[in-house]
Amino acid sequence: MRSLEILDPEEVEYIRSHAAAAAGGSVTLDCGSTMPTIFIWGFTRPGTDSNVALAYNYGQGPKLQYQSSSQGRMRVPANTSALVIEELQREAAGMYTCQALYDTDEGARVTFYFTRLDVEDD
């Protein structure tokens, strides 16, 4: 098994965005414009420091972690790294983080996509 080696901290990128959606609706949170080799979605509820894993793909298809329906119904569409939340609940508001690893010819590149989601009354 090959190990991951990131020699240059300049190879880590941080991208921040904001999304808003109505309660009861749906929202798609993007994890880059190209499919990463590996990705992990996490969620941090406002006022807390803990990041809870939601979904991941270690190269064998996306897997969802069991979550209560307090946020809504989550899925990762085929051949994407996007996180879709349907039947959106108010409790879904918070910070979503996608950690994406891209294995390139020049070596590994890591990007953190931070999306703050606001859920508005419908």
Is pLDDT of 22 > 70?
yes
pLDDT value at position 66? 77
The residues, any chain, with a CB within 8 Å of residue 105's CB and separated by 6 or more, are none
* Class of the CATH domain delimited by 10-120: mainly beta
Residue 115 pairs with which residues in a beta bridge?
17, 96
Write the pLDDT tens digit of every residue in 67-78.
756 899 999 999
The beta strand positions in the chain, using DSSP E, are 12-22, 27-29, 38-44, 52-57, 63-64, 73-75, 83-86, 94-104, 107-120
Q: Where are the domains of the chain?
A: 10-120
* Cβ pair 81, 38 in contact under 8 A: no
pLDDT value at position 1? 44
> What average pLDDT does this structure show over 10-35?
93
d(CA 37, CA 72): 27
What mean pLDDT is reported for the chain?
Answer: 89
